[in-house]
Chain A
Amino acid sequence: MAYVKVKRRELTFAERMYLPAILKGLSHTFKHFVGAGGRAGVTMQYPEEKWELPNFYRGVPALVKDEDGREKCVACSLCEFVCPPRAISIIPQEIEGVVEKAPEVFDIDMLRCIFCGYCEEVCPEEAIFMSKEYEICGTSREELVYGKSKLYEIGLTLGDDGGVTDATKKWERLAREQSEQGVDTHQGADTE
């Protein structure tokens, strides 16, 4: 291999003296020290002070209830299926009423969650949203598996426009139409 021999530049006298460069650096530091001009500096006083997060920010996924306090999640398990790191685990249960199904257990392992937002994207019921919550801390692995109550609690931070509003009112409409058409939804031979 051919190579080129690069000739190093000779240092000037001032450079060889070492101190001028040190003084130049210190003057830069001093300029910032003084130039802050009464400001506390560039450090943000976290946790007293926090970031203003943009609306597209993806924090901890959270569950929401609708205006009537009904769990919107129907345990269809699509988020569990789509979740790339398999952070979500759901155990469905049968419930009384128009919506026949709800999650008995809805766990998200925050140590696994990669905040990709696929769960929000795939949800057919608009029941899971990415919140702006980013403080995930605990002293054990178990503590960082967020259960249903914790996820609903975080969901409350989303505010009124944060997914609580059910624009389609799909289940409400179903119940209304059923009653208008006089349909007895739960029939059992033993009750006839």
Chain B
Amino acid sequence: MATLTIDGREVTVEPGTTVIEAVRRLGADVPHYCWHPGLSVAGNCRICLVEVEGMPTVQISCNLGVRDGMVVHTQSEKARQARQDVMELLLINHPLDCPICDQAGECKLQEYSFDFGTDGSRFDFPKVHKPKHVRFSEKVVFDAERCILCTRCVRFLDEVAGKDELDIINRGDRNEIAVARGDELTSDYQMNIVDVCPVGALTSTDFRFKSRVWFLKQTRSVCAGCSRGCNVTVGSRWNRVLRLVPAENQAVNKWWMCDDGRFTYRDVGADDRLGAPMVRKNGRLVEVSWDEALAAAAEGLGNAGKDLTAVVSARLTNEELHLAQTILDHVGAGERGYRARDFAKDDMLRTGDGNPNAAGAELMGLTPFTTDLPGAKHVFLCGDGVEQNEDLSSAAFVLVADCRESQTILEFATVVLPSVTAFEKRGSFTNVDGRIQRVEPSVRAPGSALEDWKLLGRLLAKLTGDAAPTSADSVLKSMGATRPAFEGLSLGRLGPLGKSTATATAAANGEAQ
């Protein structure tokens, strides 16, 4: 172990640690562009300069290994002056693009300029111009003028995504990042380069010019695209989700997420969202009050009894699955299970399972559905009415709780309860590794649609006569009594990173139950 002194504070770290890591261990930071904790050290941006006693010149802290007894100054006059000089060099050819640049507001050049840049430029010559609108693929646009050549994007694609598709071409001040001539980026993780880019050189075509980032409401949640449960920061405005970016969670997705996951928000603003409860009267679906719809649903479920066939979606949260199971137990439903959903699969993040809470469904005792629905007399489609366009014409009663309209609903539903997407509710998902993570709402649901836990809670209250649960948290707290994997948990206790329970892990691996 090596003990070094950084700005007067001692820290002991393992040999082989770099100075910047040691500084961060103390909760402080050194400015950096090219260094990224998830990528190899490049040492080319030179902004992380620190002063080390006994060394004649300032050193880059990202590529300097610690030594026992080392004395480092990150804030000394010499270090600050050196960084200011580096900033001046970086800005020589940087365009004054901030008003039209999407990165403004989360740009490291802006931040460090503010911290220790100079207020003017001493450079009197025309700036070197480069292509400003280069299409890297249909998802990513490149602006060569803004690029500071930190090579984070090059290293990400090579080291993390395993696709060595970018490199630097030309020499000197003509340096540019480029894809091979005639090629486009093909990686399914390419949009991460937009996130790792410390400046506005790489922008996402999807989010480009939609909104300035400082207007976004940032909500930490979990991606509902597959069972990995990547942590995300949802950016929303005007009650619309505008983008998803990964949030760091070392136990799940580290700093990354896949491109497919980023587009899952598009369902939220779909045109066919359900906004009002409906009951079929004289062959036509008519909008009714929640009370009437829930009464009709409860009556139908009560009549069905053990003849009820229920498809419970594994896209529901743990709390909702628990409520659904409680309802089905109360009714005494015979057939029940969840639908398997396919998703892309690779050896990085994507699991191939499109159900974000399949592990949770297994924990609740639900198994993939094998029975055919056609022929069933009484059907309850709980959160999964969209993609199943089966012929339910023989069913006397079809209850659907879902967020989007579908052929099934239009043709066969007896009672329709409008629910919400994962972006509009609070709860928890259990991911493929048995980690229970918190989902937070970022936008409001359309019309009078209710969160699934709320509508299932009210439906249960209608059936049992008990009081409906007041929050998803109260459901999670109470379900621990009967479901050991969730014992002692609350949404608050899950924290931003979630919790892995031994029971949950074992169950997800098929060892328990």
Instruction: Give residues in A with beta carbon < 8 Å to B.
Output: 74-78, 80-81, 92-94, 99-101, 124-125, 170, 174, 177-178, 180-181, 183-190, 192
Contacts and interface: CB of A to CB of B under 8 A. Distances in A.
Nearest to A188: B135
A186 B133 contact: yes
20 contacts: A74-B99, A74-B100, A75-B100, A76-B100, A76-B104, A81-B212, A81-B215, A92-B210, A93-B209, A94-B209, A124-B98, A174-B129, A177-B126, A177-B127, A181-B128, A185-B131, A187-B134, A190-B135, A192-B181, A192-B182
B209 A75 contact: yes
A92 B209 contact: yes
A170 B96 CA distance: 9
B128 A101 contact: no
A100 B132 contact: yes
A99 B100 contact: yes
B266 interface: no
Nearest to B136: A189
Contacts of B335: none
Interface of B: 95-96, 98-100, 104, 126-137, 179, 181-184, 208-212, 214-215
A187 B290 CA distance: 55
Contact of A188 (B134, B209, B211): B134
A60 B334 CA distance: 69
Contacts of B182: 189, 192
A181 B133 CA distance: 16
Given A186-B132, A187-B134, 10 more contacts: A75-B100, A92-B210, A92-B211, A94-B208, A99-B100, A177-B127, A180-B126, A181-B128, A184-B131, A187-B133
Nearest to B208: A94
B284 to A, nearest CB: 36
A81 B136 CA distance: 32
B96 to A, nearest CB: 7
Nearest to A175: B129
B100 A189 contact: no
Q: Dominant SS at the A interface?
A: mixed
B184 to A, nearest CB: 5
Contacts of A78: 99
B129 A189 contact: no
Contacts of B130: 183
B183 to A, nearest CB: 6
A76 B127 contact: no
A3 to B, nearest CB: 61
A101 B209 contact: yes
Given A94-B209, A178-B129, A183-B129, A189 B184 contact: yes
A174 B95 CA distance: 9
Contacts of A100: 100, 132-133, 209
Contacts of B136: 189
Given A92-B209, A93-B209, A94-B208, A187 B100 contact: no
Nearest to A176: B126
Interchain residue pairs A-B with the least CB separation, the first 3? A76-B99, A188-B135, A187-B134
B130 to A, nearest CB: 6
A2 to B, nearest CB: 61
B214 A81 contact: yes
Given A100-B132, A185-B131, A125 B99 contact: yes
A99 B96 CA distance: 12
A179 B354 CA distance: 50
Contacts of A81: 212, 214-215
Given A76-B99, A99-B100, A124-B98, A186 B208 contact: no
Contacts of A178: 129
A92 B101 CA distance: 12
